[in-house]
Amino acid sequence: MQRILIKYGGNAMVNDDLRYQIIEQIVQLKQNGHQTILVHGGGPFIARQLEKAGLHSEFIGGQRKTSAEALIHVEMALKGQVNGRLISIFNALGSKAAGLSGKDAAMVSVKERFHKTTDEQGNKIKVSLGHVGDVENINTTLPELLLKNDITPVITCIGTDDKGNDYNINADMLAGHLAGALKVDHFLVLTDIDGLRQDLNDPGSLIRELSIDNAKRMFGNSIQGGMIPKIEACIIALEQGAKKAGIINGTKPELVTQKIIHNKHVGTTIISKH
């Protein structure tokens, strides 16, 4: 038996057929005796919910600033829409799953996140992002209990600080911390391309395997934009206890079982060693 945590996002989240197929793959993993955990965000759903509420999204350094009012709608999108739909698919496939956020059983404790920048005089300053948090601690009691009872935890990226304030968390980062804390055998990040490319514009330059040290040297070069938190999440997972981490194409759902059940080398694998 292996323990697998999958971070789910990208087009596989907004496409109904892909969403169903991803859950089918996870159910297959369970039927093969593996424990599974699913972590998700929901950027497109959040954007749509905020637009419906007439709330403008402000971005600071590429990060969405989240007001107290906006957080209500963020949680509504993540927990009420995305999480609920995923649980319904598990139910339709006859597989037990529990929809959670990091708030449940104080699973994810956070601290407020600040954007660090430099003003015109060259002074380093911190800019508040509102209700946006960084993971400070993971309590694995609830997910361990669910896994012991063959129930897949489906976890979305909301957490609470020690004063009871709620925060939105980057889903990649949450997934990486959870993967490390749960000591998973495989941490898989689903994205819209086959993996990390040496040349961003060349699909043929896929990097099959990468050490943590080499990955850290590639930030700002091959690792840019949305790939940054995904690689960071893999590094966090490995440094905190996960055995393997990788990035695969979530628009090709069959890759999940190919990698885990059939041990095929797909996507980009991050390893601890040089």
pLDDT over 90 at 127, yes or no: no
The mean pLDDT of the chain is 90
What is the b/e burial string over 126-151, where b = at least 16 CB atoms within 10 angstroms of the residue's CB?
A: eeebbbbbbbeebeeebbeebbeeeb
Q: Rounded to two decimals, what is the model's pTM?
A: 0.92
What is the pLDDT at residue 242?
A: 95
Q: Is 200:158 a contact under the CB 8 Å cutoff?
A: no
Specify the CATH number for the domain of residue 55.
3.40.1160.10
Instruction: Please tell me the distance from the alpha carbon of residue 133 to that of residue 142, in angstroms, as a whole number.
Output: 21
pLDDT over 70 at 204, yes or no: yes
Instruction: Please tell me the distance from the alpha carbon of residue 249 to that of residue 266, in angstroms, as a whole number.
Output: 9
Tell me how many degrees the CA angle 173-178-184 measures, rounded to the nearest 5: 125
Q: Residue 95: which domain range?
A: 3-271
pLDDT over 60 at 274, yes or no: no
For the segment 243-257, the average pLDDT, to the nearest whole number, is: 91
pLDDT over 70 at 74, yes or no: yes
Three-state SS at 117:
strand
| Residues 213-239 pLDDT 10s | 888 887 878 787 788 889 899 999 999
φ, ψ at 66 (rounded to 5°): -125, 110
What is the pLDDT at residue 103?
A: 95
**pLDDT category, 189, cuts 50, 70, 90?**
very high
Number of domains into which the chain is organized: 1
| Share above pLDDT 70 across residues of the chain, in percent, rounded to a whole number | 99
pLDDT over 80 at 202, yes or no: no
For the segment 28-54, the average pLDDT, to the nearest whole number, is: 93
Specify the amino acid at residue 103.
K
Instruction: Please tell me the distance from the alpha carbon of residue 8 to that of residue 171, in angstroms, as a whole number.
Output: 9
What is the pLDDT at residue 150?
A: 96
What is the pLDDT at residue 273?
A: 67
Most confident of 195-199, 229-233, 263-267: 229-233
